[in-house]
A and B are shown apart, each in its own frame.
Chain A
Amino acid sequence: MKAENYIKLEFPARAVNEGFARAAVAAFVSQLDPTLTELGDLKTAVSEAVTNAVVHAYPDSLGVIQLRARILPGGELELVIKDKGVGIGDVERARTPLYTTGGEERSGMGFTIMEGFTDKLRVRSAPGRGTTVTMRRRLTGRG
């Protein structure tokens, strides 16, 4: 599907960039005139995906996270968050609410929130090769 507009960003997997990724997506999506609820949902979904990559993808090095946002015809937003890190062995299990390998500092609710705040969530991962999270959300906007 041909995108009507898009952005591509790349940044190191540092926690300080979580806020940057949220703000970048919020600024990009503002052209669709989203409601405050839609904006909050998208920022939350992006934050969860980027945080997952920051926390889990690169345990022994400082890797790179790629973020792509596309506006598709009909006012649908697609978000792709990609890393080339360790990958997820069992995606199904990782998506289970409350499941985490991150210890007590993590709630295990990341994928649950991504799923709840978007219309579609796809997680592709291969151990040793990285993880790609794709989310889509149709925006009704304020118009």
Chain B
Amino acid sequence: MQTYPFYSSGCLTVRFVGELDHAAAAGAMRAVTAAAEEFLPRRCVLDLSGLSFMDSSGVAVILRAKRMLSATGAELMVSSPPEQARRVLELAGLSELLIDTERKEVNSR
């Protein structure tokens, strides 16, 4: 899996591309941690649009990132999950972390 951090005016976006499973989770967490330490963002968005697969290991990465960022007062949101990752997020009770445009789509189902 690849990670692509992008920082602009207080918001850190980290785009995940590939399969976010147990084998990839530690690397993904390291990438988010390194980018957060470098940019000290007020807000972080994990862009899941490039994920071809995600399971509960991805849920753990999102929850860890959220805890890490909240320690510095930053918030974490999740955007654009493909359907498979969206179903995992919903089952894990993380729909509330989806940014607004995504949440509307979820609620309309």
Contact = CB atoms under 8 A, between A and B. Distances in A.
A107 B84 contact: no
Interface string B60-83: 100110010000000000000001
B87 A106 contact: no
Given A22-B53, A106-B60, A109-B59, A37 B87 contact: yes
Contacts of B59: 107, 109
Interface string A19-49: 1001000000000000011001101100110
Interface residues of B, number: 22
Interface stretch (B4-12, B15-23, B99-107): B15-23
Count chain B CB atoms within 10 A of each CB in A104, A106, A107, A113 and give the residue with the most.
Answer: A107
A105 B5 CA distance: 21
A19 B57 CA distance: 13
B97 interface: no
Interface in A103-122: 104-110, 112-113, 116-117
A18 B23 contact: yes
Nearest to A45: B55
B83 A40 contact: yes
A110 B56 contact: yes
Given A40-B84, A112-B91, A107 B21 contact: no
Interface residues of A, number: 27
Contacts of A51: 21-22, 55-57
B26 interface: yes
Contacts of A54: 22
B88 interface: yes
Nearest to B62: A107
B42 to A, nearest CB: 24
Interface in B38-68: 53, 55-57, 59-60, 63-64, 67
Interface of A: 15-16, 18-19, 22, 36-37, 40-41, 43-44, 47-48, 51, 54-55, 104-110, 112-113, 116-117
10 interchain residue pairs of minimum CB distance: A40-B84, A15-B23, A107-B60, A107-B59, A109-B56, A51-B22, A47-B55, A116-B91, A107-B56, A109-B92
Given A40-B53, A43-B53, A106-B57, 7 more contacts: A19-B21, A36-B83, A107-B56, A110-B56, A113-B55, A113-B56, A117-B87
